[in-house]
Amino acid sequence: MFAFVIRRILISIPVLIGSTILTFLMVKATGDPLQNLKLRNPPVPRHTIALEEHRLHLDESWPAQYWHWISNVVLHGNFGPAINSTDNIGHNLFLAMQVTARLVILSVIISLILAVITGVYSAVRQYSITDYTTTFMGFLFLSMPVFWFAILLKQGGIWYNQHVASGTFYTIGEKSVFLTDNSEWSRIKDYAGHLILPTIVLSLAGYAGWTRFTRASMLEVLNSDYVRLARSKGLKPRQVLVKHALRTALIPLTTVTALDIAALLGGAIVTETVFQWHGMGNLFLTALRQLDFNVMLAWLLVTATIVILFNLLADILYGVLDPRIRHA
């Protein structure tokens, strides 16, 4: 087991290095970072542009730039200079990650719980009204664009605030700019209030796929011989379901969940955009518009690392949870 974990970590390293090279090339292809500066009217003196190029290391060759960037990140934890010279990329990224993590973690928990409950239920009662309903809802949420549903929910919240009780839902931002009572408790309440609507959006985005998966996986297990054996032994149906079937059926779900993290981060970008959160999504889109390449690089590096870590976790968990797969 230990050897497997070590080997698996060692395999991840070249993937991570490869992804830094790939993202570097792609970010370089997004355009000239000084484009906005050069297009300024009246024109900026050539000397200033040269200074900027030097500050951002743009006057070096691409391999040199890459080396400069990656060695700074690895050795000093420094993500390099931003276009706006007063920005500290590491700090901004950290703040944005905190915001997005709140949203993503809460959504994953909620949608997993919902997905398992409905998935198991519709597998056990296959072809019942409930099964058809949840299957249809699953398909509907699978086919619903996240941004459209987010806008719909946001408008619903605004409508409720205007017509029923004002100030029920927070529809803009991840926190209030100004709080009258600056205690710890009121801040948590404020965060939670802002979380409600975006969490619903992102939960449903994840829920759809996972409940379909749980259902399929549960059906497969319920039709297997060992469950039939457990039933014919005369075990209580509940015991068969929870102890025998559910445990096996949920193993693949851990992998799927971990692998879906990248897609979920994409969903978070869209959700954050609609609700005007200052999270990872906003950070990336702003950087892309300003061609702030070091911010983009830092962003892509951090998300790639997160996704690789989750893949690693999935593989290890798979081995731990499923006794049939023992990595010698």
Partner 1 sequence: MPDMKTPLADKPESPSVASQPGLSPVEREFTVKEKSQWQQAARRFLRHRIAMVSLVLLLLLMLFAFVGPHFWQFRYDDVSGNDTSQAPSLKHPFGTDNLGTDSLATVMRGAQQSLKIAFSIALLAVIVGSIWGVVSGYFLGFVDSVLMRLADLLLTIPALALAGALAHNTSGSWWVIALVLGGLSTPYVARVVRGVVLSLREREFIEAARALGASNTRIMFRHLIPNCLAVVIVNATLLVAAGILGETALSFLGLGVRAPDTSLGLLVSGAQGAVDTRPWLFYFPGIFIILIALTVNFIGDGLRDALDPRQTRQRR
Binding site for partner 1 (CB under 8 A): 11, 14-16, 18-19, 22-23, 26-27, 29-31, 126-127, 139-140, 142-148, 151-152, 155, 158-159, 216, 219-220, 223, 259, 262-263, 265-266, 269-270, 273-274, 284-285, 288, 296, 299-300, 303-304, 307-308, 311
Residue type, 183: S
Least separation in angstroms between residue 19's CB and partner 1 is 5
Pairwise CA distance, residues 141 & 44, whole Å: 51
Q: Judged by CB, which is closer to partner 1: 18, or 43?
A: 18
Q: Judged by CB, which is closer to partner 1: 116, or 295?
A: 295
Least separation in angstroms between residue 282's CB and partner 1 is 11
Cα distances (angstroms) measured from residue 308 to each of 27, 71, 282, 305, 312:
20, 20, 22, 5, 6
Least separation in angstroms between residue 22's CB and partner 1 is 6
Q: Judged by CB, which is closer to partner 1: 174, or 260?
A: 260
CA angle 78, 82, 87 (to 5 degrees): 85
Least separation in angstroms between residue 183's CB and partner 1 is 35
Phi and psi of 278, rounded to 5°? Answer: -100, 65
Residue type, 64: A
Pairwise CA distance, residues 64 & 152, whole Å: 48
Q: Judged by CB, which is closer to partner 1: 99, or 270?
A: 270
Cα distances (angstroms) measured from residue 233 to each of 41, 62, 92, 225, 229:
84, 68, 60, 12, 6
CA angle 193, 197, 201 (to 5 degrees): 150
Q: Judged by CB, which is closer to partner 1: 28, or 187?
A: 28
Least separation in angstroms between residue 21's CB and partner 1 is 9
Q: Judged by CB, which is closer to partner 1: 46, or 164?
A: 164
Q: Please compute, for residue 100, the number of CA atoms within 13 A of its CA located in the half-sphere on the CB side.
A: 28
Least separation in angstroms between residue 305's CB and partner 1 is 8
Least separation in angstroms between residue 190's CB and partner 1 is 25
CB-neighbour burial class of residue 56 (10 A; exposed 0-12, middle 13-18, buried 19+): buried
Q: Judged by CB, which is closer to partner 1: 112, or 283?
A: 283
